[in-house]
Amino acid sequence: MSAPLRLCLIMHSTKSYNLGVGALTVAQVEILRELAAGLGRKPEITILDWKDARAPYISGDDLRILDIDRKFLLSPAGYWREMRRADIMIDIGAGDSFADIYGAKRLTMQFAMKILAWLAGTPQVMAPQTVGPFTQPRSRKLARFVMNRTAVLATRDKLSTAAAQELGTTTPVIEASDVALRLPYDPPAPRAGGSLKVGINVSGLLMQGGYTGKNEFGIKSDYPGLIEALIAHFQAHPAGCEVHLVSHVIFPEGASGEDDYTASRALAQKFPGTVLAPRFSTPSEAKTYIAGLDFFMGARMHACIAAFSSGVPVVPMAYSRKFEGLFGSIGYTRTVDCTAETREAIFAKIAAAFEDRAALMEEQRIALAKGREKLALYTAALGQLMARVP
């Protein structure tokens, strides 16, 4: 009988309060299990995860979750030992953390983890993620160094592909798409009649003006005012809409101003008749709920991916380049830009998109097929690498 495939995942999370990061992990594990089964091999998946208070939202006999901290990363009996025992290391960069715009500490840790894996002789995979921007000469050199020592290098959008190539990487770049397109969920039962269910993902981060409260994302629109105007519009719509306020970053009560649920609850109290979606415990639970809606909009990208990949007409509300990078790379052009467009312009586009739902569904069908086709390039390359493990 063949030896098990020992696969180690870094920069993934099984316990993040941001269900978008969790969606990447759950989908990645699904892909690994499917590829291992196709090879007739048993996977042994180790996920190196940061310590969080909540319980993991993924489990299985083939899964081992190790809590890591600075001591673990520095200890020869910690991270180094895990790299030495792994057949393949897979890094997804938490989706968009492989950049220097989030500060030196986070990026230095990523560089160190990648270089240690290389020194351990472990083949590395950069799973589909955002690459860049890198604005400092030192980070540009190190990014090129680690990418050139990667067995499989995948991006999730054309902007990231260009960024990797501009850095001078010699590793072939696979332009894939977001693995969360593969996030499993339970499709809703057919529904006849009743109110049209309109979902609004309310970003607690943007409601409070960013991490600092000083609008570091450069939002041009009045985001809180825009959200309130959209709620009022759909509540008064002659189609008889039922407005659902949907959270995708969910912290414990009172733990963070970034919490979507706290912001949504305040709006639900201000607008009687809205439906406050529950505190989802897993990414798949959130996607299952979103899949039961008739129209969706949001500023959390993976909430929008959940709608997009389950056939719900969606208008992504971008606050960074990753939105247009991802959706634009597969030909979906309904994203609105909160950093460049006014509140009035965004409102008009969303209102028009709702009236044009059938067209959105057809556009999404075509774009989703392209996204899955591009994602298959990544899974094929990953499968080939796994097949070479003795």
Q: From the CB of residue 357, how many other CB atoms can be counted at a distance below 10 Å?
A: 14
Tokens of 36: 């291992």
Task: Give the pLDDT of residue 297.
Answer: 99
Interacting residues of 320 by C-beta distance below 8 A, sequence separation 6+ = 96, 217, 339
Please write the tens of the pLDDT for every residue from 135-150: 999 999 999 999 999 9
- Domain pair 5-175 / 196-369, same fold: yes
Domain ranges of the chain: 5-175, 196-369
Please write the tens of the pLDDT for every residue from 155-172: 999 999 999 999 999 999
Task: Give the pLDDT of residue 252.
Answer: 85
Interacting residues of 376 by C-beta distance below 8 A, sequence separation 6+ = none
Task: Give the pLDDT of residue 219.
Answer: 79
Residue found by looking up tokens 């993040």 in the block = 16
HSE (CB half, 13 Å, CA atoms) of 193?
0
Pick the CATH number of 196-369 from 3.40.50.2000, 3.40.1180.10, 3.40.50.300, 3.30.365.10: 3.40.50.2000
Interacting residues of 169 by C-beta distance below 8 A, sequence separation 6+ = 144, 147, 148, 153
Rounded CA-CA distance 202/259 in Å is: 9
Type of residue found at 270: K
Task: Give the pLDDT of residue 256.
Answer: 67
Task: Give the pLDDT of residue 161.
Answer: 97
Measure the CA angle with vertex 293, ends 289 and 296; round to 5°: 105
Torsion of CA 30, 380, 182, 323, to 10 degrees: 130
Instruction: Specify the fold of 5-175.
Output: Rossmann fold (3.40.50)
Task: Give the pLDDT of residue 120.
Answer: 97
Tokens of 277: 């979606």
Q: Burial of 116 by CB count in 10 Å (0-12 exposed, 13-18 middle, 19+ buried)?
A: middle
Task: Give the pLDDT of residue 25.
Answer: 98
Would you say 312 and 295 are in contact if contact means Cβ atoms under 8 Å apart? yes
3-state SS record for the chain:
CCCCEEEEEECCCCCCCEHHHHHHHHHHHHHHHHHHHHCCCCEEEEEEEECCCCCCCCCCCCEEEEEECHHHHHCHHHHHHHHHHCCEEEECCCCCCECCCCCHHHHHHHHHHHHHHHHCCCCEEEEEECECCCCCHHHHHHHHHHHCCCCEEEECCHHHHHHHHHCCCCCCEEECCCHHHHCCCCCCCCCCCCCEEEEEECCHHHHCCCCCCCCCCCCCCCHHHHHHHHHHHHHCCCCCEEEEEECCECCCCCCCCCCHHHHHHHHHHHCCCCEECCCCCCHHHHHHHHHCCCEEEECCHHHHHHHHCCCCCEEEEECCHHHHHHHHHCCCCCCEECCCCCHHHHHHHHHHHHHCHHHHHHHHHHHHHHHHHHHHHHHHHHHHHHHCCC
Residues of the chain with pLDDT under 70: 1, 212, 214-216, 254-256
